[in-house]
């Protein structure tokens, strides 16, 4: 009457049950990290509702959404993001072509520019941008000295043009890296066949190469658009007033300036819907570009193989674009070694800023606190990313799961901070700040670990499971030891992101917990530029070392 199940059947049934639990575990533990605060942020739009006016909540929501200030913020966010993306593509595509198809001296240094968005926090990039391209910046000073002009010829820093140019200089290295990676992996066979049939290089470029690389260009453009649309620090410092405020800045102003959580929640809802749509579009385009590429990059030809005119133009482009990308960092470094003259006198070279920085107890404490927070955030970020590897397919293509767990890229730290302020109205702690930063950092660590894990031979896991090892034991004893370099690389990357992130710190403002980037921003606001630049150089140095370590470890892992 009763059938007895064999041990093998019981093992298979138990394995399937455990596999179901394991695959569900990341959703239960990780999803609340961004869904709960996002839900709290969005629910803030209903603040002030009472049982008697619940029926008018939709009308109240539509009324807030149609307010001139929110519509103006939405319009400015879309316009500046679109203009910034176009300019980033114009600056980055020639470099992507050179990086993908040619080898030349200094190629690795030019490729390293892709680390600028991680090494250079946006608020410090704004400071360096002003010191380089502002009315009293290095570029204007050089032009006035060279041509004998009495007035600065460039005056665009605090305007829409300044926001767009700053975004483009910060993000075009991403276009170079992302499009260059896709371009380098395109198969050369169609192009070689077209050459054999007598097609010219221009026709090959327009009819074969560009259509093939177009999905990669579209994916890079959508990611840059998302970053510019969600930008906070650059519009905050360069916007020039409320008429040039993005939705992110409007959330910050509604909470900090007006204490209007209902308005902030409405903006968060609007911004979240737009950002998630762009993220889904990026995921689809990125998957399409990955499907069109090969596994190994094609052979690169020397730059000397180009015609003399094209070679000179290429070298000039590399030098000009590299100089533009590094100009804010160079200006930050130069300004940190100056001392402002009294009574309007000219600045002079001095180490005073660094002497004050390393003898100021507040600055020293900010260094220690920033380093400790970075270590905690890195540990949390790598831990979350490792958790997400459970139940993930080895191919590295995560589909809907990948889009869902990458949502913190679209749900900015400003939006998440708003949610935590709603959840903790008496004030957020340093722990909440660490959670927000880790939530923003773990998608990058997860992508890096997933890519590294997909390169591990599948036979190793299969052999372990045939010997009776469960999925968690296989992950712990086979995969993680082989992912040691990738884990260290992800740890360093998360630490670099934490060192440069001040958006959540500005929103949450945990009591008695100074950070280097936040202190530099406040010194910038009080016009103590040399001190702010000195702190900015220290932040960039710390973040740069962490990113360099992450890049080195990532290369070793590959």
Q: What is the mean pLDDT of the chain?
A: 79
The Cα 147–Cα 166 span in angstroms is 25
Which phi and psi angles does 338 have, rounded to 5°?
A: -120, 165
Of 239-243, 319-323, 335-339, the one with minimum mean pLDDT is 239-243
Identify the pLDDT of residue 430.
84
Structure tokens belonging to residue 237: 């410092």
Identify the pLDDT of residue 87.
95
CATH number of 67-331: 1.10.3720.10
Give the start-to-end residue ranges of the domains of the chain: 67-331, 359-558
Tens digit of pLDDT for each residue in 212-253?
888 888 888 998 999 999 888 889 888 756 677 888 888 888
370-406 in b/e form (b: 16+ CB < 10 A) is beebbebbbebbbebbbebbbbbeeebebeebbbebb
Query: Of 1.10.3720.10, 3.40.720.10, 2.40.37.10, 2.40.30.20, which CATH number belongs to 359-558?
Result: 1.10.3720.10
Section 484-492 average pLDDT: 84
Tens digit of pLDDT for each residue in 437-485?
999 888 888 888 887 777 777 677 667 767 766 666 777 777 777 788 8
Three-class DSSP category at 338: strand
Tens digit of pLDDT for each residue in 84-118?
999 999 999 998 888 888 888 888 788 877 777 77
- Which residue has better confidence, 537 or 51? 537
Our CA angle for 478, 406, 297, nearest 5°, is 65
Q: Which of 2, 512, 500, 540 is nearest to 232 (CA)?
A: 500
Contact status, residue 449 vs residue 483, Cβ threshold 8 Å:
yes
Identify the pLDDT of residue 9.
44
Confidence of residue 168 (pLDDT cuts 50, 70, 90): very high
Tens digit of pLDDT for each residue in 249-272?
888 888 887 888 888 888 888 888
Q: Do domains 67-331 and 359-558 have the same CATH topology?
A: yes
Segment of 41-55, 227-241, 396-410 carrying the highest mean pLDDT: 227-241
Element counts in the chain: helices (H) and strands (E): 27, 4
512 has a pLDDT exceeding 80: no
Identify the pLDDT of residue 84.
95
Of 59-63, 235-239, 511-515, the one with minimum mean pLDDT is 59-63
Three-class DSSP category at 309: helix
Place of tokens 């094209």: 310
Confidence of residue 11 (pLDDT cuts 50, 70, 90): very low
Confidence of residue 8 (pLDDT cuts 50, 70, 90): very low
Provide the percentage of residues in the chain whose pLDDT is more than 70.
82
167 has a pLDDT exceeding 90: yes
Segment of 42-51, 160-169, 234-243 carrying the highest mean pLDDT: 160-169
Identify the pLDDT of residue 291.
63
């Amino acid at each position: 009457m009763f059938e007895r199940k064999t041990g093998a059947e019981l093992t298979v049934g138990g394995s399937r049950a455990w596999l179901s639990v394991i695959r569900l575990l990341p959703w239960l533990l990780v999803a609340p990290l961004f869904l709960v605060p996002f839900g709290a942020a969005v629910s803030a739009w209903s603040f002030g509702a009472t049982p008697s006016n619940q029926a008018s909540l939709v009308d109240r929501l539509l009324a807030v959404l149609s307010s001139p200030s929110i519509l103006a913020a939405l319009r400015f966010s879309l316009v500046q993001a679109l203009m910034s993306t176009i300019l980033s593509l114009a600056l980055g595509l020639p470099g992507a072509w050179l990086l993908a198809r040619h080898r030349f001296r200094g190629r690795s240094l030019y490729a390293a520019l892709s680390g600028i968005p991680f090494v250079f926090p946006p608020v410090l990039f704004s400071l360096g941008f002003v010191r380089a391209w502002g009315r009293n910046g290095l570029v204007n000073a050089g032009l006035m000295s060279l041509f004998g002009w009495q007035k600065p010829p460039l005056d665009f820093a605090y305007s829409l043009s300044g926001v767009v140019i700053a975004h483009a200089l910060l993000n075009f290295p991403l276009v170079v890296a992302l499009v260059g990676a896709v371009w380098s992996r395109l198969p050369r066979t169609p192009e070689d066949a077209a050459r054999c049939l007598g097609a010219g290089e221009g026709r090959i470029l327009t009819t074969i190469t560009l259509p093939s690389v177009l999905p990669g260009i579209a994916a890079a453009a959508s990611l840059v658009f998302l970053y510019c649309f969600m930008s906070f620090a650059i519009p905050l410092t360069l916007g020039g007033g409320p008429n040039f405020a993005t939705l992110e800045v409007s959330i910050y102003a509604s909470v900090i300036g007006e204490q209007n959580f209902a308005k902030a929640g409405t903006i968060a809802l609007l911004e979240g819907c737009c950002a998630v749509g762009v993220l889904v579009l990026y995921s689809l385009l990125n998957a399409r570009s990955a499907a069109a590429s090969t596994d190994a990059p094609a052979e690169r030809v020397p730059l000397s193989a180009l015609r003399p005119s094209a070679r000179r133009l290429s070298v000039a482009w590399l030098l000009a674009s590299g100089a533009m990308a590094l100009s804010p960092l160079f200006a930050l470094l130069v300004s940190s070694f100056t001392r402002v003259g009294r009574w309007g006198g000219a600045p002079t070279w001095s180490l005073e800023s660094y002497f004050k920085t390393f003898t100021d107890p507040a600055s020293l404490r900010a260094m220690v606190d920033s380093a400790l927070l970075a270590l905690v955030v890195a540990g949390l970020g790598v831990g979350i990313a490792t958790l997400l590897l459970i139940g993930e397919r080895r191919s590295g293509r995560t589909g809907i799961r990948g889009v869902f767990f990458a949502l913190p890229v679209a749900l900015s730290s400003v939006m998440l901070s708003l949610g935590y302020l709603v959840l903790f109205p008496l004030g957020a702690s340093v722990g909440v700040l660490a959670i927000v930063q880790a939530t923003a950092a773990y998608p990058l660590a997860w992508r890096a670990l997933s890519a590294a894990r997909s390169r591990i031979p599948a036979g190793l896991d299969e052999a372990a499971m045939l010997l009776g090892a469960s999925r968690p034991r296989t992950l712990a004893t086979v995969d993680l030891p082989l992912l040691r370099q990738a884990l260290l690389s992800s740890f360093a990357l998360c630490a670099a992101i934490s060192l440069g992130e001040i958006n959540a710190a500005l929103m949450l403002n945990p009591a008695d917990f100074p950070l280097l980037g936040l202190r530099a921003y406040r010194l910038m606001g009080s016009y103590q530029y040399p001190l702010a630049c000195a702190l900015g150089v220290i932040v960039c140095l710390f973040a740069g070392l962490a990113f360099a370590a992450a890049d080195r470890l990532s290369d070793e892992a590959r």
